[in-house]
Amino acid sequence: MSETFAKLHDYRVALVDGFAAQPAELAELLQPLTEAASRTPRVAGGNTLHQVLAHLRDVEIHAFLPRFRRLLAEDKPELEPFASPDWTADRYQFEEALPAILAEFTHARAEAVTLMRAMRPEDWARLGFHPPTGWRTAQWWVEHIYRHAREHLLEVQRALTATTPSRPANWHIADNG
């Protein structure tokens, strides 16, 4: 194995490990949060943490995972656009329990990780066409959804840190992304 390939392999292993860890990071952040507190506006745009988590779950289940499955199963598929803000707003369910949303996100993420860990090196370069962004590789999609979730994890962390004075000042999620 060449040094370059070894570095790429190590990067992908670390990426998948980070991807796999995000549900537990989110669960730890949300653990002290009550259902009522999750529905209190505290993030940008007046959204609630409940809405942020529902959005994260919806993107994972209805956008990323179907695209990723197709990338791995089909030769150069054309991938559907996903109007995330509109889709989430139209289907948001205020009464949905926060633990149920987190469980669905965790389950979808576990399926994606299983697919990733079974990938051969050449699978990372599989292409799909996404009308808003053009031709993208499987690796690009993994990196993209990892960063998307990381941004929301940091958003949740900032919201909870700003409104929970009992947390130590140095409490944070390490941003390995």
User: Average pLDDT of 91-97?
Assistant: 84
Domain membership of residue 173 (yes or no) is: no
Boundaries of domain holding 30: 3-163
Question: What are the tokens at 43?
Answer: 């993030």
pLDDT at 165: 40
Residue 27 backbone dihedrals phi, psi, to 5 degrees: -60, -40
Domain membership of residue 39 (yes or no) is: yes
- Separation of alpha carbons 60 and 117, rounded Å: 17
User: Average pLDDT of 22-49?
Assistant: 90
DSSP letter string over 92-144? Answer: --TTS-HHHHHHHHHHHHHHHHHHHHT--GGGGG-EEEETTTEEEEHHHHHHH
- Separation of alpha carbons 22 and 57, rounded Å: 12
pLDDT at 163: 56
Domain membership of residue 13 (yes or no) is: yes
pLDDT single digits (tens) 145-165? 999 999 999 999 999 988 544
pLDDT above 80: residue 173: no
Domain membership of residue 169 (yes or no) is: no
pLDDT above 60: residue 175: no
Q: pTM of the predicted model, to two decimals?
A: 0.85
Number of domains in the chain: 1
Domain membership of residue 35 (yes or no) is: yes
